[in-house]
């Protein structure tokens, strides 16, 4: 995991825009934006939905010609749930998209970035054809890989037993904590199925194999 911090400097809009630019611009990593999916905090009775993140993601996807739909995550325990299996911008609970400490301190919503592996059809829905609900869930879990996370520390507070925020107050100085899943990102860039197949690990594994014979 690689981390990048901003303490009282740039915040949410810049963080999302620079993340998208770094991941998709041919001047940097050049990933296919059609394969990117993101999550945001859906809100609770103590904290609002992160509409600023939703709108910013819609803007950056739109600038690439991608119409980004948004909705609350699918309930896999309820086959009759009317939500989509995966939105371009999926709104999730505090368990997945609210960052905080186990005690009172800085906290806030976060926004994760996922990549649909290149071995799959770029049209997400086509990958679901002929699959059962359970198979679709497994597909999303294994083939849509988290590579990035932006944490927006804009409050001070605590979390309840469901990881939802409690007793939050706005912070005067807002901070960004960026977490990059280095090995997973490298897996995507090397077009591999596992981090152990990337050029980060293969030289090591070759030496181990050589001297273990």
pLDDT at 1: 81
pLDDT at 193: 86
Enumerate the β-bridge partners of residue 98. 109
Dihedral-angle region of residue 130 (phi above 0 means left; psi in -120 to 50 means alpha; beta otherwise) = left
**DSSP summary character for residue 134:** H
Q: Spell out the alpha helix ranges (H) of the chain.
A: 12-24, 51-63, 94-97, 133-143, 182-189, 202-211
Q: CA-to-CA distance for 105 and 122, rounded, in angstroms?
A: 41
pLDDT at 59: 99
User: Which H or E run includes 16?
Assistant: helix 12-24
Q: CA-to-CA distance for 148 and 146, rounded, in angstroms?
A: 6
Q: What are φ and ψ of residue 102, in 5° steps?
A: -75, 5
pLDDT at 8: 93
Q: What is the pTM of this model?
A: 0.94
* Unique residue bearing structure tokens 């050029």: 199
* Unique residue bearing structure tokens 């976060």: 110
Residue ranges in the chain modelled with pLDDT below 70: none
pLDDT at 34: 98
Task: Report yes or no: 120 and 36 within 8 Å, Cβ to Cβ.
Answer: no
Give the model confidence (pLDDT) of 1-60 as tens digits: 889 999 999 999 999 999 999 999 999 999 999 999 999 999 999 999 999 999 999 999
pLDDT at 20: 99
Domain locations along the chain: 2-180
Spell out the CATH class of 2-180.
alpha beta
């Amino acid at each position: 995991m690689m981390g990048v911090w901003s303490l009282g400097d740039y915040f949410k809009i810049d963080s999302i825009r620079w993340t998208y630019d770094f991941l998709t611009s041919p001047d940097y990593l050049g990933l296919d934006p059609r394969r990117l999916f993101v999550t945001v905090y859906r809100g609770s009775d103590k904290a609002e939905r992160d509409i600023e993140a939703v709108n910013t993601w819609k803007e950056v996807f739109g600038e690439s010609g991608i119409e980004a739909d948004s909705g609350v995550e699918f309930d896999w325990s309820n086959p009759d749930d009317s939500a989509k299996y995966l939105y371009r911008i999926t709104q999730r609970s505090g368990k997945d998209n609210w960052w905080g400490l186990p005690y009172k301190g800085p906290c806030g919503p976060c926004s994760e970035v996922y990549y649909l592996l290149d071995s799959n059809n770029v049209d997400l829905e086509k990958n679901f054809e002929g699959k059962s609900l359970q198979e679709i869930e497994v597909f999303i879990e294994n083939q849509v890989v988290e590579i990035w996370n932006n944490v927006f520390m804009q409050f001070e507070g605590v979390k309840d037993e469901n990881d939802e925020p409690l007793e939050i107050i706005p912070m005067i100085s807002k901070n960004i904590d960026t977490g990059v899943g280095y090995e997973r990102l490298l897996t995507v860039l090397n077009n591999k199925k596992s981090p152990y197949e990337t050029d980060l690990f293969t030289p090591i594994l070759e030496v181990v194999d050589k001297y273990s014979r």
